[in-house]
Structure 1
């Protein structure tokens, strides 16, 4: 009996040692963006653990004011450490499901500006936007158009409504009702050229096939950053914009 316990302990000890060795090898050699225990870095490429790291800043509906403040401050520190200036936005309660807490504004720094500016959005959504801008939009614009993006034209974030503006009370609330969604209408480049989702998605607009490729590529890249990414390929309601949100559960279409 004692011998059997000793053998079992020896096996458990070997398993623990092997697990520690594997952890150490992963920590040293695996890309940090793929490791959930490594901190999020806005300059690292998108990885297997990126979305989960951003989600750590998400707020639960029943979070206390102290929890909201702590999570939002930590999220703003991440943005500032990444060279992005931001500020806390005033909380908003329009009744029912239209409640915005812990939102921020991106005010400048190392990020492509939104136009119009001063968009209020949940802080994790702002982090997702910065990641998408740095790791997807900027390199894709240079590759497809030979110029960097100067502005991302948007249709806003907050809107107190249900999905698609439905009046049926059975319809679920839109992520826009929490400022947790951003609608992107197009991109203006540093050389003045403009790419529009509505005009250029099919390749027959002023930006030609290069503009269409850019839009499709940044849509596909958004699927690795945002929970939900919807485009003109999804339905007619998205014919003029890309819908990008940070919902708990999402879809890429």
Structure 2
């Protein structure tokens, strides 16, 4: 064995050991927002690892820890089962006046823990920034069509994510200057440049896709003509 090979045999374990110790001590750790192993904190700026962290919310302990970093006012809800396919597990009730950024909902709603976390991140990092970007105003009120409903997907035989309070339907919102924007009144077909409101709603749809697994709007089908369907189910769709 030549001298170079011997040196490599010695150096590789040493380098590996130094890296391992440095990682363990936190010397080489990236900032938490970029560290895939760091807990999800809702106030961290979203990065390329955020989607991976959101997937980890399927573990109740990780989800509860993430939700505790938000300002969303929630109350835990007892697990319950209406049928084998309609059940609440680790769910919370989000208060009508207890949003992440101070806006008001038209009504409180039930949400699975992952849905509540995704909503809080969407509200802080997409909804409010986009309202400021497009209109120079904040969202003060939000009208939704509910979350929990023991039913199938419309026109299908598969249970909806609503049957687990794992979906939320956003229909309209009101800005701090009094402007009201609704999916039914402002989507304007497929022309994203038709009006400022239409452009905003499309950006809102795209922003939601950063935090929710499934986002369906008026371009998807007639059943979603008046709302954005947001859920944390198993399918990754943004339409």
TM-score (norm 1): 0.80
Gap runs ≥5 in structure 2: none
1:66 corresponds in structure 2 to none
Cα pair 1:85 1:106 within 8 Å, conserved? yes
Q: Secondary structure at the match of 1:52?
A: helix
Cα pair 1:46 1:225 within 8 Å, conserved? no
1:105 corresponds in structure 2 to 93
Tell me by how many angstroms 1:181 deviates: 0.6
Alignment of 1:125-164 (within 5 A): 125-164=115-154
What CA deviation, in whole Å up to 9, does each residue of 1:137-172 have, x standing for no partner? 001101112210012211111111121153xxxx32
Q: Secondary structure at the match of 1:27?
A: coil
Cα pair 1:114 1:154 within 8 Å, conserved? no
Say whether 1:224 aligns with 2:224: no
Alignment of 1:58-137 (within 5 A): 58=58, 71=60, 75-107=63-95, 108=98, 110-113=100-103, 115-137=105-127
What CA deviation, in whole Å up to 9, does each residue of 1:102-131 have, x standing for no partner? 100223154354533220010111010010
Q: Secondary structure at the match of 1:94?
A: strand
Q: CA RMSD in A?
A: 2.9
Rounded Cα–Cα distance in structure 1 between residues aligned with 2:161 and 2:22: 40
Rounded Cα–Cα distance in structure 2 between residues aligned with 1:220 and 1:22: 38
Of the candidates 29, 41, 44, which is equivalent to residue 27 of structure 1? 29
1:51 corresponds in structure 2 to 51
Rounded Cα–Cα distance in structure 2 between residues aligned with 1:162 and 1:109: 28
Rounded Cα–Cα distance in structure 1 between residues aligned with 2:185 and 2:165: 26
Gap runs ≥5 in structure 1: 60-70
Rounded Cα–Cα distance in structure 1 between residues aligned with 2:238 and 2:171: 17
Of the candidates 196, 199, 220, which is equivalent to residue 213 of structure 1? 199
Q: Which moved more, 1:242-251 or 1:215-224?
A: 242-251
Rounded Cα–Cα distance in structure 1 between residues aligned with 2:105 and 2:13: 58
What CA deviation, in whole Å up to 9, does each residue of 1:205-236 have, x standing for no partner? xxx71211111111001111000111111111
Cα pair 1:76 1:87 within 8 Å, conserved? no
Q: Which moved more, 1:137-146 or 1:82-91?
A: 82-91
Rounded Cα–Cα distance in structure 2 between residues aligned with 1:175 and 1:25: 42
Of the candidates 169, 189, 192, which is equivalent to residue 178 of structure 2? 192
Rounded Cα–Cα distance in structure 2 between residues aligned with 1:145 and 1:49: 30
Rounded Cα–Cα distance in structure 2 between residues aligned with 1:203 and 1:214: 14
